Amino acid sequence: MKVILAGVGAFGIKHLDGIENIDGVEVVGLVGRRPEPTQAAAEKYGIEHSFTELSAALALPGVEAVILCTPTQMHAGQAIECMNAGKHVQVEIPLADSYQDAQEVDRVQQATGLVCMVGHTRRFNPPHQWVRRRIQRGEIRIQQMDVQTYFFRRKNINAAGGARSWTDHLLWHHAAHTVDLFQYQTGEKVVAVNGLQGPHHPQLGIAMDMSIQMKTDSGTLLTLSLSFNNDGPLGTYFRYICDNGTYIARYDDLLDGNEEPIDVSSIDVSMNGIELQDREFFAAIEEGREPRSSVAQVLDCYRVLHEVEQQF
């Protein structure tokens, strides 16, 4: 399968690293904003072509699929461009920075019938897969999820510490991970939501702190705290408070409520959520089926984010 990848920042590189472990897939082109680092990445990973325009890469012969790791503001438009060019597409989270744009991507996917998958990585991380399997077997039921998403982003930098040409967003990017995971794990729809945001950064123009509460139709609760001001351990920490145990997910680790580790190494073929996400994308294309985290499956997450934004 011939694939092109657009966006060679921190997450683009993570996808390239993951794809190296997947048989039967060849990245034949990279697309980046600046030609020199894009070419350097292409040479490092043995990729023949590099471009500064997505349209040029889409014209490469034999390309079946595209992975988009570009700035958030480009996701919806580029996903639509790829599908209109007849290519399957995986777009990194978030699908869009508005519910209206997310709905339009869904409309185009339905019209073309192509695979359109969104990088909701938490669905694939082994600790969350372990919790989900227990839920599906009827062994536990979530009563509440408490989640902290903390970064230190007082300057416009990416996950690798490099300067960004665009501005990240706590709501449309980082909250999207947890809002989707909450509905995915509970199997229920969010019916009530409250959101508060702190002051906007004078240069970045975005809120640096947020607090969000949600409730499903059965009464299961989510409390989500997000910050770009946290000078300390970074990342997202999930606490599942269940009727039969408490579980804490931190990156690739899972612990019980007493901080005792739980082995999740045999849950899937890899501990790398990005690699597992890519494996699902390619398998869905080969098997002609809907992928886990298809645009249709994650669309309601963006409806909830829209409702939060209206409260701001």
Q: For 109-159, how does the pLDDT look when each residue is reduced to its tens digit (9 = 90+)? A: 999 999 999 999 999 999 999 999 999 999 999 999 999 999 887 776 666
Question: Structure tokens of 42?
Answer: 């292409």
Residue 241 in contact with residue 220, Cβ under 8 Å?
no
Superfamily of structural domain 2-119+274-293: NAD(P)-binding Rossmann-like Domain (3.40.50.720)
Q: Given this model, what pLDDT does residue 164 score? A: 67
* Confidence band for 204, pLDDT divided at 50, 70 and 90: confident
Question: Structure tokens of 65?
Answer: 């699929």
Residue 290 has pLDDT above 80, yes or no: yes
Q: Given this model, what pLDDT does residue 159 score? A: 62
Q: Which of 89, 139, 129, 136 is nearest to 109 (CA)?
A: 89
Q: Given this model, what pLDDT does residue 270 score? A: 97
Q: What angle do CA 111, 107, 30 make, to 5 degrees?
A: 85
Q: Given this model, what pLDDT does residue 160 score? A: 63
Average pLDDT over residues 263-282: 97
Q: Which residue has the higher pLDDT, 155 or 199?
A: 199
- β-strand partners of 228: none
Residue 196 has pLDDT above 90, yes or no: yes
The position carrying tokens 């009727």 is 243
Q: Assign domain 125-267 to its CATH architecture.
A: 2-Layer Sandwich (3.30)
15/23 Cα distance (integer angstroms) = 14
Outline where 137-250 has alpha helix (H): 176-186
Q: Given this model, what pLDDT does residue 178 score? A: 98
| Residue ranges, CATH 3.30.360.10, the chain | 125-267
Residue 5 has pLDDT above 90, yes or no: yes
pLDDT above 90 covers a percentage of the chain that reads: 90
| Residue ranges, CATH 3.40.50.720, the chain | 2-119+274-293
Q: Given this model, what pLDDT does residue 166 score? A: 67
